[in-house]
Amino acid sequence: MNLFFLALGFGVVTASVLALASVGLSLQFGVTNFVNFAYGAYLAFGMFFTYTLDVTAHVPFWLAAVVATLLTGLVSVVVDRLVIEPFVRRRTSPFFLLIVTFGLQLVLLNVIQAVWGVGFESFTTGTGTPLHLGPFSITGDQLGIVVLAVVAMVLVHLLLTRTTLGKSMRAMSDDSSLAKVSGIDTGRVTMWTWFVSGCLAGLGGITLALNTVSFQAYTGNTFLFVIFAAVILGGIGQIYGAMLGALCIGLAVELSGLWIPGAYKLDVAFGVLVLALLLRPQGLIATVGKA
Protein backbone atom coordinates (compact mmCIF):
# COMPACT_ATOMS: atom_id res chain seq x y z
CA MET A 1 0.00 0.00 0.00
CA ASN A 2 2.90 2.32 0.79
CA LEU A 3 4.34 1.74 -2.68
CA PHE A 4 0.95 2.49 -4.19
CA PHE A 5 0.73 5.90 -2.47
CA LEU A 6 4.33 6.63 -3.40
CA ALA A 7 3.57 5.91 -7.07
CA LEU A 8 0.32 7.87 -6.81
CA GLY A 9 2.26 10.86 -5.51
CA PHE A 10 4.75 10.64 -8.38
CA GLY A 11 1.82 10.23 -10.75
CA VAL A 12 0.31 13.51 -9.61
CA VAL A 13 3.70 15.20 -10.07
CA THR A 14 4.17 13.80 -13.60
CA ALA A 15 0.57 14.73 -14.41
CA SER A 16 1.29 18.29 -13.25
CA VAL A 17 4.33 18.62 -15.53
CA LEU A 18 2.31 17.13 -18.38
CA ALA A 19 -0.69 19.37 -17.75
CA LEU A 20 1.39 22.54 -18.03
CA ALA A 21 2.98 21.43 -21.32
CA SER A 22 -0.15 19.82 -22.79
CA VAL A 23 -2.44 22.78 -22.19
CA GLY A 24 0.06 25.08 -23.91
CA LEU A 25 0.26 22.81 -26.96
CA SER A 26 -3.48 22.24 -27.15
CA LEU A 27 -4.36 25.94 -26.71
CA GLN A 28 -2.10 26.92 -29.62
CA PHE A 29 -3.56 24.18 -31.82
CA GLY A 30 -7.11 25.19 -30.95
CA VAL A 31 -6.60 28.81 -31.95
CA THR A 32 -4.24 28.47 -34.94
CA ASN A 33 -5.45 25.06 -36.17
CA PHE A 34 -2.08 23.43 -36.87
CA VAL A 35 0.28 21.34 -34.76
CA ASN A 36 3.59 22.72 -33.54
CA PHE A 37 6.11 19.87 -33.80
CA ALA A 38 8.87 22.20 -32.57
CA TYR A 39 7.17 22.44 -29.15
CA GLY A 40 9.81 20.26 -27.44
CA ALA A 41 12.42 22.94 -28.09
CA TYR A 42 10.29 25.53 -26.24
CA LEU A 43 10.54 23.35 -23.12
CA ALA A 44 14.32 23.46 -23.52
CA PHE A 45 14.25 27.27 -23.71
CA GLY A 46 12.44 27.36 -20.37
CA MET A 47 15.03 25.04 -18.82
CA PHE A 48 18.08 26.87 -20.14
CA PHE A 49 16.87 30.44 -19.49
CA THR A 50 16.27 29.33 -15.89
CA TYR A 51 19.67 27.64 -15.85
CA THR A 52 21.50 30.77 -16.99
CA LEU A 53 19.69 33.02 -14.50
CA ASP A 54 19.91 30.54 -11.63
CA VAL A 55 23.39 29.05 -12.04
CA THR A 56 25.32 31.73 -13.95
CA ALA A 57 23.66 34.94 -12.76
CA HIS A 58 22.84 33.68 -9.21
CA VAL A 59 19.28 35.02 -9.34
CA PRO A 60 16.98 33.33 -6.74
CA PHE A 61 15.48 30.22 -8.33
CA TRP A 62 11.82 31.26 -8.18
CA LEU A 63 12.61 34.62 -9.80
CA ALA A 64 14.76 32.88 -12.45
CA ALA A 65 11.84 30.56 -13.22
CA VAL A 66 9.36 33.44 -13.55
CA VAL A 67 11.64 35.44 -15.84
CA ALA A 68 12.50 32.32 -17.89
CA THR A 69 8.80 31.54 -18.30
CA LEU A 70 8.11 35.02 -19.67
CA LEU A 71 11.21 34.87 -21.90
CA THR A 72 10.05 31.54 -23.36
CA GLY A 73 6.70 33.13 -24.12
CA LEU A 74 8.59 35.92 -25.88
CA VAL A 75 10.67 33.41 -27.88
CA SER A 76 7.44 31.71 -28.90
CA VAL A 77 6.01 35.01 -30.18
CA VAL A 78 9.23 35.95 -32.00
CA VAL A 79 9.50 32.53 -33.69
CA ASP A 80 5.86 32.76 -34.72
CA ARG A 81 6.31 36.26 -36.16
CA LEU A 82 9.57 35.51 -37.98
CA VAL A 83 9.04 31.96 -39.20
CA ILE A 84 5.47 30.73 -38.91
CA GLU A 85 3.30 33.79 -39.67
CA PRO A 86 4.82 34.31 -43.15
CA PHE A 87 3.62 30.79 -44.03
CA VAL A 88 0.22 31.32 -42.45
CA ARG A 89 -0.21 34.57 -44.40
CA ARG A 90 0.44 32.67 -47.63
CA ARG A 91 -2.39 30.33 -46.59
CA THR A 92 0.01 27.37 -46.32
CA SER A 93 -1.92 24.17 -45.65
CA PRO A 94 -1.81 22.70 -42.12
CA PHE A 95 0.14 19.78 -43.59
CA PHE A 96 2.95 22.03 -44.86
CA LEU A 97 2.95 23.92 -41.58
CA LEU A 98 3.53 20.55 -39.91
CA ILE A 99 6.67 20.11 -42.01
CA VAL A 100 7.76 23.68 -41.33
CA THR A 101 7.53 23.16 -37.56
CA PHE A 102 9.17 19.72 -37.95
CA GLY A 103 12.17 21.45 -39.58
CA LEU A 104 11.97 24.28 -37.07
CA GLN A 105 12.42 21.78 -34.22
CA LEU A 106 15.84 20.92 -35.65
CA VAL A 107 16.80 24.58 -36.07
CA LEU A 108 15.78 25.55 -32.52
CA LEU A 109 17.39 22.51 -30.87
CA ASN A 110 20.63 23.23 -32.69
CA VAL A 111 20.50 26.89 -31.66
CA ILE A 112 20.05 25.75 -28.05
CA GLN A 113 23.01 23.38 -28.35
CA ALA A 114 25.12 26.12 -29.94
CA VAL A 115 24.36 28.52 -27.06
CA TRP A 116 24.27 26.19 -24.04
CA GLY A 117 26.27 23.17 -25.21
CA VAL A 118 25.37 19.50 -25.43
CA GLY A 119 26.05 18.36 -21.87
CA PHE A 120 23.72 17.59 -18.97
CA GLU A 121 23.02 20.44 -16.52
CA SER A 122 21.03 20.86 -13.32
CA PHE A 123 19.59 23.72 -11.28
CA THR A 124 20.99 24.81 -7.91
CA THR A 125 17.87 23.71 -6.03
CA GLY A 126 19.15 20.18 -5.36
CA THR A 127 16.87 17.23 -4.78
CA GLY A 128 15.98 18.00 -1.16
CA THR A 129 14.75 15.59 1.49
CA PRO A 130 11.35 13.96 0.97
CA LEU A 131 8.42 15.40 2.87
CA HIS A 132 5.91 13.01 4.39
CA LEU A 133 2.33 14.13 3.92
CA GLY A 134 0.06 11.42 5.25
CA PRO A 135 0.75 8.34 3.09
CA PHE A 136 2.54 10.42 0.42
CA SER A 137 6.25 11.07 0.24
CA ILE A 138 7.48 13.71 -2.18
CA THR A 139 10.25 16.30 -2.25
CA GLY A 140 9.67 20.01 -1.74
CA ASP A 141 10.42 20.60 -5.42
CA GLN A 142 7.76 18.10 -6.43
CA LEU A 143 5.21 19.66 -4.09
CA GLY A 144 6.06 23.00 -5.70
CA ILE A 145 5.44 21.52 -9.16
CA VAL A 146 1.97 20.33 -8.17
CA VAL A 147 1.01 23.66 -6.56
CA LEU A 148 2.35 25.57 -9.56
CA ALA A 149 0.40 23.40 -12.01
CA VAL A 150 -2.84 23.80 -10.05
CA VAL A 151 -2.39 27.58 -9.89
CA ALA A 152 -1.56 27.71 -13.61
CA MET A 153 -4.61 25.62 -14.53
CA VAL A 154 -6.88 27.89 -12.47
CA LEU A 155 -5.33 30.95 -14.18
CA VAL A 156 -5.86 29.39 -17.62
CA HIS A 157 -9.46 28.65 -16.68
CA LEU A 158 -9.98 32.26 -15.52
CA LEU A 159 -8.28 33.57 -18.68
CA LEU A 160 -10.59 31.56 -20.91
CA THR A 161 -13.83 32.27 -19.03
CA ARG A 162 -13.43 35.75 -17.50
CA THR A 163 -11.33 37.83 -19.90
CA THR A 164 -12.11 39.24 -23.34
CA LEU A 165 -8.82 37.79 -24.63
CA GLY A 166 -9.70 34.30 -23.43
CA LYS A 167 -13.21 34.50 -24.85
CA SER A 168 -11.72 35.64 -28.17
CA MET A 169 -9.36 32.63 -28.07
CA ARG A 170 -12.32 30.32 -27.59
CA ALA A 171 -14.22 32.05 -30.37
CA MET A 172 -11.27 31.61 -32.77
CA SER A 173 -10.96 27.99 -31.67
CA ASP A 174 -14.63 27.40 -32.58
CA ASP A 175 -14.62 29.27 -35.88
CA SER A 176 -11.76 31.52 -36.90
CA SER A 177 -13.51 33.27 -39.81
CA LEU A 178 -16.65 33.88 -37.80
CA ALA A 179 -14.48 35.34 -35.03
CA LYS A 180 -12.84 37.65 -37.54
CA VAL A 181 -16.08 38.99 -39.06
CA SER A 182 -17.41 39.46 -35.52
CA GLY A 183 -14.73 42.11 -35.06
CA ILE A 184 -12.17 40.12 -33.09
CA ASP A 185 -8.60 41.24 -33.79
CA THR A 186 -7.43 37.73 -34.71
CA GLY A 187 -3.80 38.80 -35.27
CA ARG A 188 -3.57 40.14 -31.73
CA VAL A 189 -5.31 37.09 -30.24
CA THR A 190 -2.94 34.79 -32.20
CA MET A 191 0.06 36.66 -30.83
CA TRP A 192 -1.17 36.36 -27.23
CA THR A 193 -1.96 32.68 -27.83
CA TRP A 194 1.64 32.02 -28.83
CA PHE A 195 2.79 33.95 -25.77
CA VAL A 196 0.63 31.94 -23.37
CA SER A 197 1.52 28.69 -25.16
CA GLY A 198 5.23 29.55 -24.91
CA CYS A 199 4.93 30.45 -21.21
CA LEU A 200 3.20 27.15 -20.46
CA ALA A 201 5.87 25.28 -22.47
CA GLY A 202 8.54 27.11 -20.48
CA LEU A 203 6.88 26.17 -17.20
CA GLY A 204 6.49 22.60 -18.45
CA GLY A 205 10.21 22.52 -19.26
CA ILE A 206 11.28 24.00 -15.92
CA THR A 207 9.11 21.58 -13.93
CA LEU A 208 10.25 18.67 -16.11
CA ALA A 209 13.88 19.60 -15.41
CA LEU A 210 13.13 19.87 -11.67
CA ASN A 211 11.50 16.46 -11.72
CA THR A 212 14.23 14.69 -13.73
CA VAL A 213 16.95 16.70 -11.87
CA SER A 214 19.44 16.71 -14.80
CA PHE A 215 18.57 17.84 -18.31
CA GLN A 216 20.01 18.72 -21.70
CA ALA A 217 18.82 20.26 -24.98
CA TYR A 218 16.89 17.17 -26.07
CA THR A 219 15.18 16.44 -22.73
CA GLY A 220 12.03 18.32 -23.70
CA ASN A 221 11.98 16.87 -27.20
CA THR A 222 12.25 13.34 -25.81
CA PHE A 223 9.28 14.07 -23.55
CA LEU A 224 7.26 15.44 -26.50
CA PHE A 225 5.66 12.11 -27.35
CA VAL A 226 4.19 11.86 -23.85
CA ILE A 227 2.80 15.39 -24.19
CA PHE A 228 1.22 14.45 -27.52
CA ALA A 229 -0.27 11.31 -25.99
CA ALA A 230 -1.97 13.46 -23.32
CA VAL A 231 -3.13 16.05 -25.86
CA ILE A 232 -4.58 13.45 -28.25
CA LEU A 233 -6.21 11.53 -25.43
CA GLY A 234 -8.01 14.68 -24.33
CA GLY A 235 -8.95 15.61 -27.88
CA ILE A 236 -6.53 17.89 -29.68
CA GLY A 237 -7.35 21.58 -29.24
CA GLN A 238 -9.47 20.87 -26.15
CA ILE A 239 -7.93 22.73 -23.20
CA TYR A 240 -9.82 20.92 -20.45
CA GLY A 241 -9.37 17.67 -22.37
CA ALA A 242 -5.59 18.22 -22.26
CA MET A 243 -5.76 18.62 -18.48
CA LEU A 244 -7.73 15.39 -18.17
CA GLY A 245 -5.43 13.61 -20.65
CA ALA A 246 -2.40 14.76 -18.65
CA LEU A 247 -3.92 13.43 -15.43
CA CYS A 248 -4.72 10.03 -17.03
CA ILE A 249 -1.32 9.65 -18.70
CA GLY A 250 0.60 10.91 -15.65
CA LEU A 251 -1.13 8.50 -13.28
CA ALA A 252 -0.99 5.60 -15.76
CA VAL A 253 2.73 6.11 -16.33
CA GLU A 254 3.70 6.22 -12.65
CA LEU A 255 1.25 3.61 -11.36
CA SER A 256 2.37 1.18 -14.07
CA GLY A 257 5.78 1.33 -12.39
CA LEU A 258 4.28 -0.90 -9.69
CA TRP A 259 4.01 -3.80 -12.14
CA ILE A 260 6.49 -3.21 -14.94
CA PRO A 261 10.17 -2.15 -14.81
CA GLY A 262 10.44 1.61 -14.38
CA ALA A 263 12.56 1.89 -17.52
CA TYR A 264 9.53 1.20 -19.69
CA LYS A 265 6.99 3.31 -17.85
CA LEU A 266 6.93 6.17 -20.38
CA ASP A 267 5.85 3.69 -23.04
CA VAL A 268 2.65 3.18 -21.13
CA ALA A 269 1.78 6.60 -22.57
CA PHE A 270 1.92 5.08 -26.04
CA GLY A 271 -0.16 2.12 -24.88
CA VAL A 272 -2.85 4.42 -23.48
CA LEU A 273 -2.85 6.42 -26.71
CA VAL A 274 -3.21 3.29 -28.86
CA LEU A 275 -6.05 2.14 -26.65
CA ALA A 276 -7.75 5.52 -27.07
CA LEU A 277 -7.28 5.39 -30.84
CA LEU A 278 -8.77 1.89 -30.93
CA LEU A 279 -11.71 2.60 -28.65
CA ARG A 280 -12.90 5.81 -30.22
CA PRO A 281 -11.05 6.48 -33.47
CA GLN A 282 -14.06 8.23 -35.00
CA GLY A 283 -14.09 10.78 -32.19
CA LEU A 284 -10.42 11.47 -32.65
CA ILE A 285 -10.51 11.89 -36.43
CA ALA A 286 -13.44 14.27 -36.37
CA THR A 287 -11.62 17.58 -35.83
CA VAL A 288 -9.31 17.53 -38.85
CA GLY A 289 -9.66 15.94 -42.26
CA LYS A 290 -7.04 14.36 -44.42
CA ALA A 291 -3.80 16.34 -44.46
Partner 1 sequence: MAVAIGAGALALARPGSLDTLLLYAVLAQSWNLIGGLAGYASFGQVVFFGVGGYLTALAMVRLGLSFYLAMPLGGLGAALFGLAVGDLVLRVRGLYFAVATLVLAGATKAVLSSWPGLAGPSGVLTITTVGLHQPTARPGPLGFDAVYLALAAVSTAGVSVLVRSRLGDSLAVIRDDEDLAGALGIAVRPAKVAAFSLSGALAGLAGGVYAFQVTALSPAVLFAPLLSVVMVAAVVAGGAGVLGPLRGAVLLWLLSAGVGSLAPELRDVLVASLIVAVVLVEEGR
Binding residues for partner 1, rule: CB under 8 A, are 35, 37, 83, 86-87, 90, 92-96, 98-100, 102-107, 109-111, 114, 218, 221-222, 224-226, 228-229, 232, 236, 261, 263-264, 266-267, 269-270, 273-274, 277-278, 281, 284-285, 288-291
Query: Which residue, 92 or 122, is less far from partner 1 as judged by CB?
Result: 92
By beta-carbon proximity to partner 1, the closer residue of 17 and 35 is 35
CB of 131 to partner 1, least distance (A): 28
Q: Which is nearer to partner 1, 87 or 240 (CB)?
A: 87
Q: How far is the CB of 218 from partner 1 (least distance, A)?
A: 8
Closest distance to partner 1 from the beta carbon of 220 (Å):
12
Question: Which CB atom, from 74 or from 266, has the smaller least distance to partner 1?
Answer: 266
Nearer to partner 1, 13 or 79 (CB): 79
HEC profile of the chain:
CHHHHHHHHHHHHHHHHHHHHHHHHHHHHHHHCCCCCCHHHHHHHHHHHHHHHHHHCCCCHHHHHHHHHHHHHHHHHHHHHHHHHHHHHCCCCHHHHHHHHHHHHHHHHHHHHHHHCCCCEECCCCCCCEEEECCEEEEHHHHHHHHHHHHHHHHHHHHHHHCHHHHHHHHHHHCHHHHHHCCCCHHHHHHHHHHHHHHHHHHHHHHHHHHHCEECCCHHHHHHHHHHHHHHHHCCCCHHHHHHHHHHHHHHHHHHCCCCCHHHCCHHHHHHHHHHHHHCHHHHHCCCCCC
Closest contact distance (angstroms) between CB of 1 and partner 1 is 27
Nearer to partner 1, 166 or 204 (CB): 204
CB of 121 to partner 1, least distance (A): 17
Query: From the CB of 99, what's the least distance to partner 1, in Å?
Result: 5
